[in-house]
Amino acid sequence: MPAEKLLGEEKSGKKGWLETYTENFGGELVNDKYSAALFEKVDAAFTDKTITSDDTFSLTSVTTSQNLWQKIWGTSTSYTNTYTMSAIQDVTLDDMDNALNEKAFCDEFFVAEGDFDELYSYVKKAAAKDETVYLFRYYQSEYFAVELSEGMYETGFYTQIVGDMSMPAYGRHYEHEDTNAYLCQMWVQLDFDIIDLTFTKDNVDTIIPVVMSPMDIAADGTPPLVTTKDGLSWWQILLAVIALVFALILLFKFAPVIVYAVGKVVALPFKAISSASKKSQEKRRESKEIKESKANKKPPDTDGGEV
């Protein structure tokens, strides 16, 4: 969501969502301008901040990538990167003309790609007047975005969870449809104004007052970096079907070998038991034969006599 939809466009006179909401619902106002219901909290007083050319800010971004299998199953891998930017940075026409492309320039100077054309036109006009354009970064705000569940209310039978049990119920209920929605929250600076600029040369400070109309500043709304979608896309389903067919072909091709090998492994302990049983039977038979042989053996004859 572009910031212009939130704050409006001054050139065209198109109202933003903050203004239209205030007109429709009113209530207590912030800075005599917007409804207080639009803000979670508001500072008690204006913030007075001094920025120097040596100040820096840290910008953290998350890059999400997916391999083939992750695309199929809807998962991803995230990498966090931290960048350091100068609070005050000059930009020249050569910087913009000599960049590999618009994206390369915007990445290096931390400018939104949607602002490139307007910035280029401004820098070009300044160069024709032998003027220097500076990017001024005075504040680091927080931005929060989370994926939401999207659905509709319907009337009919549905499953109601009561404790650990699922029970049938009838009535008006929420039917989950998709996750094609998100909620974002950002800091907004109201009535921003530059009071003065200080230039230092040869240890001498020169303060120049600045006259400007206060302005409201907000960032563009950006969806969550990682989102999910219910169900699989047609190409994901197609790849899954191809993978299944390939797996079945391999299974039928190597099934006899696999079954034979499994049969060998399963039969091995039974063969061992059978072999041990046969040896035990042979020992019992030999022992029995030895006993019978001793029992049937007659003692030697002896002649009797008188003493």
DSSP 199-216: EEETTEEEEEE-----EE
Global pTM exceeds 0.75: no
Q: Are residues 103 and 248 in the same domain?
A: no
pLDDT tens, residue by residue, 152-192: 777 777 676 666 667 677 777 666 666 667 888 888 889 88
Rounded to an integer, the average pLDDT of 2-21 is 83
Residue 304 lies in a domain: no
Q: Are residues 88 and 103 in the same domain?
A: yes
The whole-angstrom separation of Cα 267 and Cα 261 is: 10
pLDDT value, residue 34 = 93
Sequence-ordered alpha helix ranges (H) in the chain: 3-7, 17-25, 68-73, 93-97, 102-109, 116-128, 234-296
Q: Are residues 198 and 241 in the same domain?
A: no
Confidence of residue 292 (pLDDT cuts 50, 70, 90): low
Residue 36 lies in a domain: yes
pLDDT tens, residue by residue, 219-241: 777 777 656 655 556 666 777 77
Q: Cα–Cα distances in Å, from 150 out to 156, 161, 172, 207, 228?
A: 19, 20, 16, 54, 12
pLDDT value, residue 211 = 86
Worst-scoring range by mean pLDDT, 43-57, 58-72, 111-125, 131-145?
58-72
pLDDT tens, residue by residue, 183-204: 888 888 898 888 888 888 888 9
The whole-angstrom separation of Cα 82 and Cα 226 is: 18
Q: Are residues 257 and 142 in the same domain?
A: no
What's the chain's average pLDDT? 77
Q: Are residues 256 and 141 in the same domain?
A: no
Domain of 244 in residue numbering reads as 232-292
Q: Which residues pair with 85 in a beta bridge?
A: 57
pLDDT tens, residue by residue, 32-85: 899 999 998 998 888 888 888 888 887 776 655 556 565 556 666 666 778 788
Q: Are residues 206 and 74 in the same domain?
A: yes
Rounded to an integer, the average pLDDT of 93-115 is 89
Please list, residue by residue across 183-206, b when 16 or more beta carbons sit within 10 angstroms of its beta carbon and e when fewer do.
Answer: eeebbbbbeeeeeeeeeeeeeeee
Residue 46 lies in a domain: yes
Q: Are residues 211 and 238 in the same domain?
A: no
Number of domains in the chain: 2
Q: Are residues 241 and 263 in the same domain?
A: yes
Q: Are residues 18 and 76 in the same domain?
A: yes
